[in-house]
Amino acid sequence: MPRKTQGLPGVALRGFGLVDLAVALAVLAILLYFLLDRVLYMQEVAEKTEVEETVRSINYGLRLEAASRIARGPDPGRLALEKDNPIKWLNAPPRNYVGEHEKAPGHAKPGYWYFQLQSRQLIYRPNRAERLRIEGMKEKELRFDVRRNGVSSQPRLVPHPAYVWFDDRTGGIR
């Protein structure tokens, strides 16, 4: 027989039953799933933003170096900007840059940059890439070449091949 409360006549108190506990845990699990999904989504957005900012910084450094080379005049001992490591033109390398390598370093955690010596490309291996699509590639890595813009002949870091991250149809950096 249910116990009666002292202050409220006619109102019965019952305990928290197993069904109530199961429902509460199910609701909590669903909420945690959506929270975790949102956190992972935001981490990938942050990673994409960090990649875009790094590429913008490199493009700025490339423009400064190109202007400096024009001002100093030709030097036959200097590598063309298209063949040189573009990280050199930054004040400091990105915190997740692991250096120049012939192939992807196996010891590095995902979410790092490296310059591949053989292809002369700057490569980024993302940590979170669920929403990243790269034309013609199964492997999820962003590859960038230094190329000169046809009109102004300014060097730029260009994704090769083009990619789509979060259905952002820009093919890389704007």
59-118 pLDDT, tens digit per residue, is 999 999 888 888 888 777 677 888 899 999 899 999 999 999 998 888 888 899 999 999
pLDDT, one tens digit per residue, over 2-58 is: 555 555 666 666 677 889 899 999 999 999 999 999 999 999 999 999 999 999 999
- State which amino acid sits at residue 135: E
| Tens-place pLDDT, residues 107-135 | 888 899 999 999 999 999 999 888 888 88
Look up tokens 């030097």; give the residue. 75
Q: What are the Cα distances from residue 87, in Å, to 61, 91, 123, 161? A: 9, 9, 11, 20
Contact yes or no for 163/172 (Cβ under 8 A): yes
CA dist list (Å): 33 to 44, 50, 94, 109:
17, 26, 33, 25
Instruction: Please answer whether residues 51 and 125 qualify as being in contact, where contact means their C-beta atoms are separated by less than 8 angstroms.
Output: no
Helices and strands (DSSP H and E) totals, the chain: 1, 9
pLDDT tens per residue across span 136-158: 877 889 999 998 876 667 888 99
